[in-house]
């Protein structure tokens, strides 16, 4: 009986101890979450004295961000590819916002933009650079591509980002400012062929190395990783038209290996997937961009969209056979598929 009493006492002590440990762990987790939330909520001031330059403002994320920052009092310079895009944006914003024509694949065009911004910012320097300009097509099966199809996308999405950043760095160093680079969840998980995924993986790597190098000068670098959103980049009509172009130039033996119905099946399944996946609320992305520019302690990476946070980014950490299975569900298989 004496032994049983000791055993029961020991058991009760273990339960209390284990609950105490669990309680401490939960309290620490809650404290960390509250501390992170409070720290995340601190903002800088003096928006009216801060200049931000954004690329790719004709439509989509860049266009909305330019209007968003303009409403908050920032001095925004918006780079647009077309005159119509620049005129439409200028008409929808205050006189404070300025537009200019910019082709990120043309170093001379970037130099002109730098000179324009230098005259505007003076000795204050440039507070924010948002590398948003991008393109998706050509995108599709790797075998359908030629080298120039890769370079068309890489020149805009990666080389353009690098060129713009390098040319604006002196102005950013003056202000100890921010660089915000738009990557993608496809910079973590390659779901299709073409230059898009390659370019976004490159943006991730470039941003990481830039962040480490520039932290010594007070420049902070953030990466935006959007999931699927309804923008020009994800336009099904644009992608489908380019897929038909790629298919039309394929040799007949390559077409035969995929099957006569493969292109139609690919377009149908892709359209179905995009309609399900693409979110129309692009403010989820521009909120991340704004936070990266206005937070006292901006995050290194922002997963934008619920699909990015809770599906694609977690999927990128799982074994490859899991992500392969997901891709195989989303897209059709060729006729001459080899048996494993």
Asked if pLDDT for residue 13 goes beyond 80, the answer is no
Find the range with the poorest average confidence among 155-159, 275-279, 304-308: 275-279
Residue 244 lies in a domain: no
Residue 210 lies in a domain: yes
Residue 37 lies in a domain: no
> In the chain, how many domains are there?
1
Residue 320 lies in a domain: yes
Residue 242 lies in a domain: no
Closest CA to 165 of 134, 136, 128, 217: 128
Residue 39 lies in a domain: no
* Catalytic (active-site) positions: 196
Residue 339 lies in a domain: no
Q: What is the pLDDT of residue 28?
A: 73
Of the pLDDT bands very low, low, confident and very high (cuts 50, 70, 90), residue 97 is very high
Find the range with the poorest average confidence among 34-48, 276-290, 307-321: 34-48
Compute the mean pLDDT over every residue in the chain, rounded to the nearest whole number. 92
Q: Please say whether the beta carbons of 136 and 185 come within 8 A.
A: no
Identify the residue with better confidence: 29 or 227. 227
For the stretch 279-304, pLDDT in tens is: 999 999 999 999 999 999 999 999 99
Of the pLDDT bands very low, low, confident and very high (cuts 50, 70, 90), residue 23 is confident
What pTM value is reported for the model? 0.89
Q: What is the pLDDT of residue 41?
A: 78
Q: Is 292 exposed, middle or buried (0-12, 13-18, 19+ CB in 10 A)?
A: buried
- Residue 209: which domain range? 46-231+280-328
Residues 127-135, mean pLDDT to the nearest whole number: 97
Residue 77 lies in a domain: yes
Any idea what the CATH number is for the domain that residue 186 is in?
A: 3.40.50.720
């Amino acid at each position: 009986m004496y032994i049983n009493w000791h055993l029961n006492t020991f058991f009760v002590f273990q339960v209390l101890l284990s609950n105490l440990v669990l309680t401490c762990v939960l309290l620490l987790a809650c404290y960390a979450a509250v501390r992170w939330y409070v720290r995340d909520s601190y903002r800088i001031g003096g928006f009216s004295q801060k200049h931000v330059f954004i690329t790719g403002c004709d439509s989509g994320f860049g266009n909305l961000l330019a209007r968003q920052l303009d409403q908050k009092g920032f001095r925004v310079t918006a780079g647009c590819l077309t005159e119509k895009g620049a005129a439409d944006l200028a008409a929808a914003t205050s006189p404070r916002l300025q537009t200019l024509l910019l082709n990120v694949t043309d170093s001379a065009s970037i130099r002109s933009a730098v000179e324009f911004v230098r005259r505007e910012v003076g000795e204050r320097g440039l507070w924010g650079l948002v590398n948003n300009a991008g393109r998706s097509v050509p995108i599709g099966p790797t075998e359908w591509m030629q080298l120039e199809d890769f370079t068309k996308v890489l020149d805009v999405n990666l080389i353009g980002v690098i060129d713009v950043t390098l040319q604006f760095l002196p102005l950013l160093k003056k202000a100890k400012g921010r660089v915000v680079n738009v990557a993608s969840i496809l910079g973590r998980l390659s779901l299709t062929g073409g230059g898009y995924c390659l370019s976004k993986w490159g943006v991730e790597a470039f941003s990481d190395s830039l962040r480490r190098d520039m932290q010594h000068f007070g420049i902070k670098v953030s990466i935006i990783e959007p999931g699927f959103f309804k923008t020009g980049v994800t336009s099904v009509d644009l992608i489908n038209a380019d897929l038909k172009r790629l298919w039309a130039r394929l040799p007949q033996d390559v077409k035969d290996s995929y099957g006569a119905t493969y292109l139609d099946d690919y377009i149908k399944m892709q359209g179905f997937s995009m309609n399900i996946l693409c979110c129309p609320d692009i403010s989820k992305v521009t909120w991340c961009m704004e936070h990266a520019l206005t937070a006292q302690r901006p995050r290194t990476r922002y997963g934008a969209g619920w699909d990015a946070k809770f599906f694609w980014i977690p999927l990128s950490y799982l074994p490859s056979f899991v992500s392969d299975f997901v891709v195989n569900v989303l897209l059709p298989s060729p006729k001459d598929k080899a048996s494993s």
